[in-house]
Structure 1
Amino acid sequence: MATLVLGTVGRALLGPVGGAIGALIGNRVDHAVLGPPRRQSPRLAELSVQTSTYGTQMPAVFGTMRVAGPVIWATDLVEARGVIGSGKGRPGTESYSYSANFAVALSGRAIRRVGRIWADGRLLRGSTGDFKVATGFRVYPGTEDQPVDPLIASIEGARASAFRGVAYAVFEGLALAEFGNRIPQLTFEVEADPGPVSCDGIARALSPVVRPADAGMSVAGFAASGGSVRAVLDMLADMSGGQWVAEGAGVRLAVPGAGAGTVIHDDGMGAKGPGRRNVREMAGEDVVPSSVTVAHYDPARDYQIGVQRARRPGGVRDDRVELAAALDAATARTLAQDRLARHAVERVRRIVTLGPEALTITPGNIVRIDGEAGRWRVIEAAWEAMAVRLTCVPLGQGGPILPASPGRIARAADRVIGATRLIAFEAPPLTDELLSAPRLSVVAAGGPGWRQAELAYSLDDGASWTALGPTALPGIIGVVSAVTPGGGGALVDRRGRFDVQLVEDLADADDAALDAGANLAWIDGELIQFAQARPLGDKRWRLSGLRRGLRGTEAMIGQAAPGASFVLIAPGSVRTLDVPIEMLGRSVRFLAHGLGDPVEGVQASAAVTGLSVLPPPPVGWRCRRGADGRVTIGWTRRSRIGWRWLDRVDAPLGEETERYRITIGDRVEELTSPMWSGTVADGTRVAIRQIGTWGASAPLVGIVGEG
């Protein structure tokens, strides 16, 4: 570059000799200041991996690009300790969560905004600016007067840097649970300039010696990095199919198609006077590659690397070009096609020797040679023995924009995080664990983009709150839209139906899956399983093949009405809390705070009925009056455990002792076996409760003289 500039300045001050001297000096400057030609130009790999290695290059972003900048500041990970599953009579499990505070450099020049952010390839920040994981976030655009970030200032004190002139982002308290408790690999959609940018505009922003000229090619974005400014400018010229030429004290970009070109006459001048004319050289066909591959960032692929290729018959090698630029597939394919055509036509070299008047013609100039067809570009100019020797190549014709496909797009889903939906209830234990405190279940969801929320609970109606930690995995929560009455809980209900409305999808389950606990749901106090889930459209499903009133909830059969809550109890989706036995008959409030929730959070309440710790009500009412007039009443006890009845004998007691309370009219008696005998009139109401370790069951009700 300096070769052109100083050569021009030398000619202006000292004539042709000065121009030659200036060119020699400029060549040294090019190597010392701009870097030697062999230094790397921007490459795709430099933008694909985030690193905090000392000396890592920071790209200067133009237009809109996806970049992975270096981490320029960070603290140690922040550890938070919590207890999961604590409750009276049940030890809690210690849990640890981690978050990170750090800053990432985005661009070596000012930017306008940051759009989407990807973490390990998944969207961390969506197109609307919503984060999918809890974090604080601030962007500094890279101005010369930007302030010090308050978090960095609070930790670093007086030595805190504002990183003026560098665009960077600060994350405060980024939750790391979803990333294996480490800082994920982050890439950012950075907008530096609105709309497309031209190669000439990029060059002028990078170097003061570049003068306004032909705009050159326009790109959606560009990340200037690499070994030297010269390497970047060479890439910009190559992308535009042009060359840098001297102009005054600077250089400008000259591209084909700009001007008709100066007409020159080959005088055949040589060291000893006129020499031979029409010196033409042609390289062998093997110098032309069989294909040209252009790798680029494709905006249609969320700036993932796209590859377009142009081919020709013959040849044995591929010319691969890596452009740190955002291009659409059609433009990239056209570039490959034009480059392949240029390789073919530039096999020809036309050497022209002229007099001193041709000293104004420099490399990059477009000329017409008298007696030759078409236009030619000067690629080399030499001053030898008072003659100017120009080496020229023919200019090919740029082809039309060719249609091209970006290929299959592996785009990260941008799911908007909705408000948390929270359901809390007490259900019978789903295992044979004997609980010593009431256990409440909490299921939370929030739509496709929702992941988790932080939970708290209150035992005093909201007067005080205790942190419970995060919710479980997203559950499936819906609403019953229609109910078709069916049978009871003794057999599979093939007549009953539940129509439910929900966002997520459901699936069928065969007998083996049902036996393993699949498709278990909670509907307004009743535990059910369903074998078939038929889609009705508009996110409505019809559930059939029902197992009703499971684990002692048969009293709720037939109680559910349209509007009742539907909760699928799936592995990993239920968060539990054991509460003191003194909470029986009271309610526990739950509070969730998720990313999409209002400031006050989302609340739900669960009544503590004892369903999880009390024995289920007895069944099998039997009443018989003997010949002596005495009445014998019998029943069958049930148990909180042993529901699967694997040994085919009596279910285990599951309580400290076997006791019953029987209420016959106004009389109350306690028994130790499931039978009563005495005198009582027909029509008398009888209620039988099993007395468990923590209280009495719901009653089995019968009428004397019936059954």
Structure 2
Amino acid sequence: MATLVLTVAGGALGGPVGAALGAALGRTVDREWLSDAGTRTGPRLTDLAVQTSSYGTQIPRLFGTMRVAGTVIWSTDLIESSSTTDGGKGQPDTTRYSYSASFAVLLSARRIRTVRRIWADGKLLRGAAGDLKSRCAALRIHDGGEAQAPDPLIASLETTGRTPAHRGSAYVVFEALQLADFGNRIPSLTFEVEADAGAVDLGSIAGDVSDGAICGTADFGLAGFSAYGSDMRGVITRLSDATGSWFVRDGGAVRWMRGPGEAAVLTDPGARPAGERGDATRRSIAAASSAADRVLVRHYDPARDYQAGVQQAVRHRCGAHRTEQIELPAVLGAVEARTLAEMALARADLGRERRRVALDWTKIDILPGSRVRLSGEPGQWHVAGWSLEAMTLILDLVRIAPPEPVAAATSGRVAAAPDLTIGATVLAPFELPLVRDELYATPQLAIVAAGQGAGWRSAALLLDDGAAGAWRPIGATALPAVIGTVANVPGTAPSALEDRRTAFEVELLHERMALTQADTDALDGGGNLALAGDELLQFAEAEQIGPRRWRLRRLWRGRRGTEHATGRQKAGDRFALLSADTVKLVGTDLSTLGRDVSVQASGVGDSKGPVEAVARIDGRSLLPPGPVHLRWRQSGEGDVVLTWARRSRLGWRWIDGADVPLGEEAERYLVSLRRGDGRSSEIEVGGPSHTIPAVERPAEPFTVAVRQIGAHGRSLPASTTIA
């Protein structure tokens, strides 16, 4: 820092000498802000890491764009809520408790533009698009303007007239934030705050924190900075030390200076000696070991979601083994931080050389902090010491480092919290076909769901099946499913052979959804089972042919008794990949058979209200599958002998080669005969065969249909035409 020493004998000064001294006195560096006497404590990076709620905590002044923790300044107690889920017929109800809280977090002691992303316990709570990842009734941002009104929630819960507006300070209010995602406690929050648009010059920062005492442009911008702590002089000192800046009094203001610029040329060292040998100029160079050979710059790295980064510069010098560490609570990219370290290392090297110059007192207008050049020598110097002794002006000069070239650097491997949009819930309810080897007593409603964005995780569900006469809660959805729509009709194919002709295409809900391959063993174990329209099918090959479009090949068609739906799909029908962890199964009342039931979902991304979908209950989860291998032959007497194979709701994999379990109260079939003239007849039989006597056989071709009779109704028919 520049110093001023006056040693003048005699009384009051007057005339031109007095005027010059008065000007010098008026233009010395302002000691209130820039004196180096004592220790100045600037902000540290760790000050921004942990959210606090302590009384008297210092609130930072934010510049540019920063990530800060903030201070909780108001909160409610935890609010408990309970919900009871109907367990269904024969099952107990389940009561679950959840907790929420409302609170306010103070962010900046100066006005801001907005709040961007928010992290909770290190995970994104609010994305770059402004979408909340957890349920919250409202999030309000108060920018700290002078016309700022009290928050309506705080005002409604506090004594009338006692709610502060916090004008001049920016804060956010969370209203009824659900805490289930955070262990039923208020999480540790950090905020990406945009205080100013674009980078902010160091001179502007210094001017703000000094309340206008410092002005000027430093030609060095920061993407973000936190002026933190009670000692604002320490903030300015840290900025000037880190960037190689200094200050000079210019008229009535203190101006920020940095790097080479307009400089006065010293051509005449004067007549008075400055050195011990009578020289007018004295030069000194400190030992190489006195300067740092390694400089570390710790900073906030935007490429690492503003987490702390470190860049270093190293110059190996003989005898030098000293490391200088610069902690700068500023947002710097890796390249900027590395360049700053290289500049600091260059200043440390050049700073070993000092000059003391003695000038005639008439040069008194060369100010402390001014740039100067020595005639006949390259480079520039700045005046670090200024004294007037016995009418001789003595200047202590320090070299000014030229700008360093931009250094190459990288932020390293970054594992940022994913910012996945949640989007609205997409719901696909349907009565579950015979997927599991279980006998159900009531219709089974399957619910698969996902979101329009890849960040969707779950939604709360309500069911209206007409049994209770109102909506009833049925818990939450299962894990996100892979769902979409049928893009082209796959055509018909036999269910007993692998379909290698069809190229079946589907359009998935969003680009982050994917399908995988499956070998024969995986398919035999139930892998890659999907519902396309009303057909259950499996696929061995899946090829992505567009951002959301997939082509499926090597298909196993008409699985689990759905061969009747093969080839009946149309473009736009639902497609859902089924697995145990993505299907929620809900039992409905028997009275729903033949009727529609409604399902309602409400998730974090459903800002427009709950999503509702309807499913038809036709009994496919209760009815036996239709018979197969229906054949006929004619006996020697002209009788028609019908035979078929029974199928069951159990034993689909047919592991031991024996007959599958019956799965019904009794084995019964309804055989229907329809003549060409429209007349029909029916007969119930107790086994997988039936004979039509020759005397009852119609003369013209006729159709025979066989249905298995189950406990809750008849199966789909197996049919054949007899000529």
TM-score under structure 2 length normalisation:
0.83
In the alignment, which residue of structure 1 is the partner of 2:498? 492
Moved more, 686-695 or 659-668: 659-668
In the alignment, which residue of structure 2 is the partner of 1:71? 72
Counterpart CA distance in 2 for 1:19 and 1:327 is: 39
In the alignment, which residue of structure 2 is the partner of 1:696? 714
Q: Does the 8 Å contact 1:242/1:254 carry over to 2?
A: yes
In the alignment, which residue of structure 2 is the partner of 1:217? 220
Cα-to-partner distance string for 1:110-154 (whole Å, 9 max, x where unaligned):
112222333445543333333343322100111344222222233
Q: CA deviation at 1:599?
A: 2.6
In the alignment, which residue of structure 1 is the partner of 2:7? none
In the alignment, which residue of structure 2 is the partner of 1:437? 442
Q: CA deviation at 1:289?
A: 2.2
2:144 aligned with 1:139 = no
Q: Does the 8 Å contact 2:84/2:473 carry over to 1?
A: no
Cα-to-partner distance string for 1:452-489 (whole Å, 9 max, x where unaligned):
44433333599953344443332222222224545311
Q: Decide whether aligned partners of structure 1 residues 22 and 499 sit closer, same or farther in structure 2, where only a CA change above 3 A counts.
A: closer
In the alignment, which residue of structure 2 is the partner of 1:38? 39
Q: Does the 8 Å contact 1:214/1:258 carry over to 2?
A: no
Q: CA deviation at 1:519?
A: 0.8
Counterpart CA distance in 2 for 1:642 and 1:266 is: 110
| Correspondence for 2:575 among 566, 571, 574 | 566
Amino acid paired to 2:586: L
2:697 aligned with 1:681 = yes
SS at structure 2 position matched to 1:482: coil
Amino acid paired to 1:219: L
Q: Decide whether aligned partners of structure 1 residues 189 and 693 sit closer, same or farther in structure 2, where only a CA change above 3 A counts.
A: same
Q: Does the 8 Å contact 2:485/2:574 carry over to 1?
A: yes
Q: Does the 8 Å contact 1:90/1:578 carry over to 2?
A: no
Counterpart CA distance in 1 for 2:181 and 2:237 is: 43
Cα-to-partner distance string for 1:577-605 (whole Å, 9 max, x where unaligned):
22111000001122334455573544322
Moved more, 665-674 or 494-503: 665-674
1:232-251 correspondence runs (5 A): 232-246=235-249, 251=254
Amino acid paired to 1:202: I
Counterpart CA distance in 1 for 2:455 and 2:411 is: 31
Q: Does the 8 Å contact 2:58/2:230 carry over to 1?
A: no
2:452 aligned with 1:447 = yes
Q: Does the 8 Å contact 1:265/1:370 carry over to 2?
A: no
Amino acid paired to 1:171: F
Q: Does the 8 Å contact 1:106/1:168 carry over to 2?
A: yes
| Correspondence for 2:329 among 324, 329, 335 | 324
In the alignment, which residue of structure 2 is the partner of 1:526? 535
Q: Does the 8 Å contact 1:198/1:216 carry over to 2?
A: yes
Q: Decide whether aligned partners of structure 1 residues 115 and 649 sit closer, same or farther in structure 2, where only a CA change above 3 A counts.
A: same
Amino acid paired to 1:201: S
Unpaired stretches in structure 1, ≥5 consecutive residues: 5-10
Q: CA deviation at 1:525?
A: 0.9
| Correspondence for 2:613 among 604, 610, 613 | 604
Q: CA deviation at 1:557?
A: 1.9
Counterpart CA distance in 2 for 1:98 and 1:352 is: 73
Q: Decide whether aligned partners of structure 1 residues 56 and 515 sit closer, same or farther in structure 2, where only a CA change above 3 A counts.
A: farther
2:107 aligned with 1:106 = yes
Q: Number of aligned pairs?
A: 695
Amino acid paired to 1:234: T
Q: Once the two structures are aligned, what percentage of the paired residues are identical?
A: 45
Moved more, 496-505 or 661-670: 661-670
Moved more, 458-467 or 473-482: 458-467
SS at structure 2 position matched to 1:437: coil
Q: Does the 8 Å contact 1:2/1:30 carry over to 2?
A: no
Amino acid paired to 1:167: A
Q: CA deviation at 1:550?
A: 1.5
Q: CA deviation at 1:500?
A: 1.7
1:242-641 correspondence runs (5 A): 242-246=245-249, 251-261=254-264, 263=266, 265=269, 277-299=280-302, 302-314=305-317, 315-352=320-357, 364-368=369-373, 374-381=379-386, 390-402=395-407, 405-406=410-411, 410-451=415-456, 452-459=458-465, 464-485=470-491, 487-502=493-508, 503=510, 504-537=513-546, 539-594=548-603, 597=606, 599=608, 601-623=610-632, 626=635, 633-641=642-650
Counterpart CA distance in 2 for 1:488 and 1:413 is: 45
Counterpart CA distance in 1 for 2:42 and 2:114 is: 26
Q: CA deviation at 1:94?
A: 4.2
Amino acid paired to 1:515: D
Moved more, 690-699 or 542-551: 690-699
Counterpart CA distance in 2 for 1:626 and 1:90 is: 55
Cα-to-partner distance string for 1:316-351 (whole Å, 9 max, x where unaligned):
333232222223444433322222111111112334
Q: CA deviation at 1:93?
A: 4.3
Amino acid paired to 1:364: G
Q: Does the 8 Å contact 2:79/2:100 carry over to 1?
A: yes
Q: Decide whether aligned partners of structure 1 residues 366 and 20 sit closer, same or farther in structure 2, where only a CA change above 3 A counts.
A: closer
Q: Does the 8 Å contact 2:242/2:326 carry over to 1?
A: no
Amino acid paired to 2:500: R
Amino acid paired to 1:649: A
SS at structure 2 position matched to 1:537: coil
| Correspondence for 1:173 among 173, 176, 187 | 176
Cα-to-partner distance string for 1:9-47 (whole Å, 9 max, x where unaligned):
xx99x9999999999xx97x779xx99753432233333
Q: Decide whether aligned partners of structure 1 residues 199 and 431 sit closer, same or farther in structure 2, where only a CA change above 3 A counts.
A: same
Amino acid paired to 1:45: T
In the alignment, which residue of structure 1 is the partner of 2:8? none
